[in-house]
Amino acid sequence: DSGVTQTPKHLITATGQRVTLRCSPRSGDLSVYWYQQSLDQGLQFLIQYYNGEERAKGNILERFSAQQFPDLHSELNLSSLELGDSALYFCASSVEARENTEAFFGQGTRLTVV
């Protein structure tokens, strides 16, 4: 158990809909990362928050947004969903923004868009 909790574990929704994925980081971790893993793809970095502020942005679509709340949990919002958005979405957390620390991953949310 990494200490990072992601909910829900599975999500099935229709095209055009909007979903929210939730992540609770490890206790004490200030940094939260979101990654997308599609079929045959590695972990694609989406976005990082550190202590409530956006810190780094990757290949995140404009239809996607995220935020980190004062209690440090984070949500990833995916809207106008398309079939191609079906993927595993991982959240990870670390103590610092970087400083040569590894990130601890949650078990992921499997999103299926039908």
Partner 1 sequence: DQQVKQNSPSLSVQEGRISILNCDYTNSMFDYFLWYKKYPAEGPTFLISISSIKDKNEDGRFTVFLNKSAKHLSLHIVPSQPGDSAVYFCAASAPRDDKIIFGKGTRLHILP
Phi/psi for 93 (5° steps) reads -135, 155
89 binds partner 1 (CB under 8 A): no
Angle at 7 between CA 18 and CA 38, to 5 degrees: 65
- Of 13-21, 61-69, 73-81, 93-101, the window that binds partner 1 (rule: CB under 8 A) is 93-101
- Residue in 11, 85, 87, 104 binding partner 1, rule: CB under 8 A: 104
- Residue in 21, 78, 81, 103 binding partner 1, rule: CB under 8 A: 103
- Residue in 13, 45, 52, 79 binding partner 1, rule: CB under 8 A: 45
Give the Å distances, CA to CA, from 20 to 28, 58, 97: 23, 19, 24
63 binds partner 1 (CB under 8 A): no
32 binds partner 1 (CB under 8 A): no
Binding-site ranges for partner 1 (CB under 8 A): 2, 4, 6, 31, 33, 35, 40-45, 48, 50, 55-56, 58, 90, 92, 97-98, 100, 102-108
